[in-house]
């Protein structure tokens, strides 16, 4: 009995491994087809640059806390890079597919829709890396000494934190997107999430410049682990020991979100069947 279940899981995994590269290729072709839209999306990520301008003007007459002008430039460049790398649009796609019932066709396929969605979202990453490479050069030029180029341990933590940031945001979007099976205003819920995130993730203002209680609160909420934590690791605001501990917290959040996603997916699907007829 137990072996049968394992065998089935193994067959599923093999099927997924075979299909995933094609799914990625389809996603890449999609990205190329909508390259104008991609460019517009990149251009609309200009808020970190505006905040950079603001804070460098503030730091013109002396550093703010630990931050001098160069630190602000490095921080917001890092923020821009992490924001673009970890971004997904799953929540919009999922809510739209649930509302219009398109999700039904995905359910017919022999691959779990969340795997298929993850392929579409991941396929967008290589093009982003290409677009971001000049920014990385600028960042190296501004703050080369801070980057973990000669510190393999921190480089490894950074890589894991970036993967984690992408995964955490993906799962949160899946969770909120599935609310669309229950309420109409799932996107408004996500808007609320974004509002909280812009403050509590360090997106607008570095967390260590916020009042102490906000910074403490941010450490126990998931928002910081999507943006602020990878950026702080990237430009070396944290010691390796602290970064490693934070990485553990990040992956705990991921595990929790994954569990919640699996549970909610089953329940929402039952509800969706009633919804789409």
Partner 1 sequence: MRRILRRYARLLAVQIRTSFTLAVQYRFDFFVEGMLAVIWLAITLVPLAVVFARRPSVAGWSYPEALVVVGLFSMLKAVLDGGVMPSLNHVVDGVRKGTLDFILLKPADAQFLVSTARFEPWRILDFLGSVGIVLFAFHRLHRWPGALGVCLGLFLFAVALMLLYSLWILVVSLSFRVVKVDNLSYLFVSIFDAGRWPIHVFKGALRVVFTVVFPLALMTTYPAQALLGTLTLAHALYAGAGGLLFTALARLVWQQSLRSYSSASS
Strand partners, 67: 64
Binding of residue 64 to partner 1 (CB under 8 A): yes
Say whether residue 249 binds partner 1 (CB under 8 A): no
Residue with smaller CB distance to partner 1, 50 or 137 = 50
Return the range that interacts with partner 1 (CB under 8 A); candidates 52-60, 71-79, 117-125, 171-179: 52-60
255 binds partner 1 (CB under 8 A): no
Of positions 122, 155, 163, 209, contacts partner 1 by CB under 8 A: 209
Nearer to partner 1, 51 or 165 (CB): 51
Is 212 a binding residue for partner 1 by CB under 8 A? The answer is no
Instruction: Tell me how crowded residue 28 is: count the other CB atoms within 10 A of its CB.
Output: 18
| Per-residue CA distances from 15 to 8, 10, 103, 115 (Å) | 11, 9, 21, 12
Judged by CB under 8 A, does residue 217 bind partner 1?
no
| Residue 102 is a binding residue for partner 1 (CB under 8 A) | no
Q: How far is the CB of 179 from partner 1 (least distance, A)?
A: 14
Q: Reduce the secondary structure of the chain to three states and give it as a string.
A: CHHHHHHHHHHHHHHHHHHHHHHHHHHHHHHHHCHHHHHHHHHCCCHHHHHHHHHHHHHHHCCECCECHHHHHHHHHHHHHHHHHHCCCHHHHHHHHHHHCCHHHHHHCCCCHHHHHHHHHHHCHHHHHHHHHHHHHHHHHHHHHHCHHHCHHHHHHHHHHHHHHHHHHHHHHHHHHHHHHCCCCHHHHHHHHHHHHHHHCCCCCCHHHCCHHHHHHHHCCCHHHCCHHHHHHHCCCCCHHHHHHHHHHHHHHHHHHHHHHHHHHHHHHHHHHHHHC
Does 151 help bind partner 1 (rule: CB under 8 A)? no
Give least dist CB 44 to partner 1, A: 4
| Binder of partner 1 out of 96, 156, 160, 205 (CB under 8 A) | 205
From candidates 24, 199, 217, 260, binder to partner 1 by CB under 8 A: 199
Question: Does residue 40 touch partner 1 according to CB under 8 A?
Answer: yes
The count of chain residues that interact with partner 1, using the rule CB under 8 A, is 32
131 is a contact residue toward partner 1 (CB under 8 A)? no
* Residue 96 interacting with partner 1 (CB under 8 A): no
Q: Does residue 30 belong to the site contacting partner 1 (CB under 8 A)?
A: no
Summarize as ranges the residues that interact with partner 1 (CB under 8 A). 34, 36-37, 40-41, 43-47, 49-51, 53-58, 64, 184-185, 188, 191-192, 195, 198-199, 204-205, 209-210
């Amino acid at each position: 009995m137990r072996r049968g279940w394992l065998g089935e899981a193994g067959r599923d995994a093999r099927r997924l491994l075979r299909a995933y590269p094609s799914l990625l290729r389809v996603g890449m072709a999609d990205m190329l087809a909508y390259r104008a839209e991609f460019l517009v999306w990149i251009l609309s990520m200009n808020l970190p640059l505006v905040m950079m301008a603001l804070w460098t003007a503030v730091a013109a007459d002396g550093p703010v806390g630990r931050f001098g002008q160069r630190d602000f430039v490095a921080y917001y460049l890092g923020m821009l890079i992490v924001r673009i790398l970890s971004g997904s649009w799953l929540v919009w796609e999922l809510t739209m597919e649930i509302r219009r019932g398109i999700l039904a066709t995905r359910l017919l396929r022999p691959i779990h829709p969340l795997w298929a969605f993850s392929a579409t979202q991941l396929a967008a990453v290589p093009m982003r890396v290409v677009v971001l490479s000049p920014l990385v050069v600028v960042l190296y030029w501004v703050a080369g000494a801070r980057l973990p180029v000669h510190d393999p341990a921190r480089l490894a933590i950074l890589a894991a934190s970036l993967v984690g940031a992408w995964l955490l945001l993906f799962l949160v979007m899946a969770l909120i997107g599935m609310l669309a099976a229950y309420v109409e205003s799932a996107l408004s819920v996500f808007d609320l999430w974004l509002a909280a995130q812009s403050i509590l993730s360090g997106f607008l203002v570095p967390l260590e410049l916020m009042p102490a209680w906000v910074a403490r609160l941010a450490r126990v909420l998931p928002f910081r682990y999507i943006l602020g934590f990878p950026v702080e690791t990237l430009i070396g605001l944290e010691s390796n020991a602290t970064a490693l501990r934070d990485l553990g917290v990040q992956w705990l959040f991921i595990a929790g979100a994954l569990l919640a996603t699996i549970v909610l997916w089953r329940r929402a699907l039952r509800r969706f069947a009633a919804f789409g007829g």
